[in-house]
A = this chain, B = another copy of it.
Amino acid sequence: MAPDGTFFAYMRRFHAPDVQPGPYSLGPDEARHLAQVLRAQAGDSVELADGRGAVFPAEITSVGKRDVLLEVGLPACHPEPTPQLVLLVAPTKQTDRFEWFLEKACECGVTAIQPVWTARSERRVEKHDRWRRTLSEAMKQSRRAWLPTLHAATGLADALNHTADAYPNHWRGIAHCPVPEHPHWERQSMTDALPPQRDAVIAIGPEGDFTPDEIQAFEAAGFVPVTMGEHRLRTETAALFAVQAFHIVNALK
């Protein structure tokens, strides 16, 4: 049983983006984890996920401290989950809150994340590799076959252009705090506004929210203003709420 106590009923799964059937050598990070933390031995069976839907059965043939060799079988292929959910979200000032969100968003099911720097983004430190590792760990832990796409962080104008190019037919919604100029009762709730069984891009603002100019830019780009209710949610809470609402609306509507 793994240290997190949750593996007993499952085959151990690892992330191997370039895996193919046949002999395969696991990368140093995964190899160290497998050998030193999970104490894997030759003959153990594991699963390798490429993060693009293919999950390969594999048997460990030899274990070294920095190198684990496996014999890989033919994969089971999982279609990409639909409808797609793309989140356009401002990284939080405290990076651990954003990393927490990335972990949970992957566990709960998100297609892509576009980090965006806004006028009120206080600390603009992109930790792309670390954030990607967080997503990879969450993909394995939640036993998903698809690794969410993590786009490079950009300013708002570039983010709007990029999502317009990459996701032209997605429904677009922007959630911002209830503020005196935009009280929540002027807007539909996200759960009412979300169209069922349709791909979506949802934008979530930073601490301090989007500026009125930024909200106008979103509306000009076809984003529907929605509310998550009268209570003020932290950025990462609102972003995860959007993920949950998207899936539950699609399950119920």
Contact = CB atoms under 8 A, between A and B. Distances in A.
A9 interface: yes
A35 interface: no
Contacts of A5: 93, 120, 122, 206-208
16 contacts: A5-B120, A5-B207, A5-B208, A6-B177, A9-B179, A9-B180, A10-B232, A108-B237, A142-B233, A192-B251, A244-B244, A244-B245, A244-B248, A248-B248, A248-B252, A249-B252
A237 B4 contact: no
A185 interface: no
From A10, A207, A252, A253, name the one whose CB has the most chain B CB atoms within 10 angstroms: A252
Contacts of A245: 244, 248
Q: How large is the interface on A (under 10, 10 to 19, 20 to 34, 35 or more residues)?
A: 35 or more
A231 B243 CA distance: 15
A96 to B, nearest CB: 9
Contact of A177 (B9, B108, B248): B9
Copies per assembly: 2
A143 interface: yes
Count chain B CB atoms within 10 A of each CB in A100, A109, A192 and give the residue with the most: A100
A249 B233 CA distance: 19
A120 B191 CA distance: 36
Nearest to A208: B5
Count chain B CB atoms within 10 A of each CB in A1, A177, A191 and give the residue with the most. Answer: A191
Nearest to A245: B248
A197 to B, nearest CB: 15
A148 to B, nearest CB: 13
A189 interface: yes
A232 B142 CA distance: 4
A182 to B, nearest CB: 10
A11 to B, nearest CB: 12
